[in-house]
Amino acid sequence: MHKRYVPIVVTIAVLLAVAIVGYSQPPVVQKSPTRVLMVNNGGRVFFTHAIHADDYGYDCADCHHDGVEGAEPIACGSCHPKAFDGLFKEVHQRAFPSKEYCERCHDSEPVSSMSDDERPDSDMLLTRADAFHGQCMDCHKAEDAGPYGEESCSTCHAK
């Protein structure tokens, strides 16, 4: 072998070894997100998830109310959409990991051809904005900590 190929072969061997070691290690799973960005009409809100969970000591069930024992929390928008429109009705069922979640809103496991009287009354379900305002503002008021009240909008909502 020519001497000029030795550095190339050594470099390739080192990169291959690093790749094998890197791919053989299990991925680091983040326990919970650091921040959550909520985009809405009032302005974006950066929710500091890690601070609320780790520093303030809130348990998952304090905010997430999935209702399926031992399950990971699902996205809030799966149940609380921006609006109960055709798009939500069409795609929300794909957001759930199992059919157990259906009975949170439906009397039984829904089928594709549901009549209107079998569907949940969307007037009784909270939109995402109502759910967040209720959850966040009520907790801040109860804890007498953090922003709450009509005058505090710009504290959380970025202009």
Alpha carbons 104 and 4: distance in angstroms, whole number: 68
- The whole-number pLDDT of residue 6 equals 92
Q: Which two tokens stand for residue 45?
A: 């809100």
Query: Mapped to the 3 state alphabet, what secondary structure does 87-119 carry?
Result: HHHHHHHHHCCCHHHHHHCCCCCCCCCCCHHHC
Q: Give the pLDDT confidence of 120-133 residue by residue, as tens digits.
A: 777 777 888 888 88
Domain ranges within the chain, ordered by starting residue: 36-156
Alpha carbons 96 and 72: distance in angstroms, whole number: 11
Bigger pLDDT: 99 vs 31: 99
- The whole-number pLDDT of residue 135 equals 84
CATH domain 36-156 topology: Cytochrome C3 (3.90.10)
Q: Is the pLDDT of residue 154 over 80?
A: yes
Please choose, from the candidates 52, 55, 80, the residue with its C-alpha nearest in 3D space to the C-alpha of residue 66.
80
Question: pLDDT band at 68, cuts 50/70/90?
Answer: low
- The whole-number pLDDT of residue 21 equals 92
Question: pLDDT band at 9, cuts 50/70/90?
Answer: very high
Q: Specify the DSSP class assigned to residue 48.
A: -
Bigger pLDDT: 110 vs 61: 61
Alpha carbons 141 and 130: distance in angstroms, whole number: 16
Question: Does this model's pTM top 0.85?
Answer: no
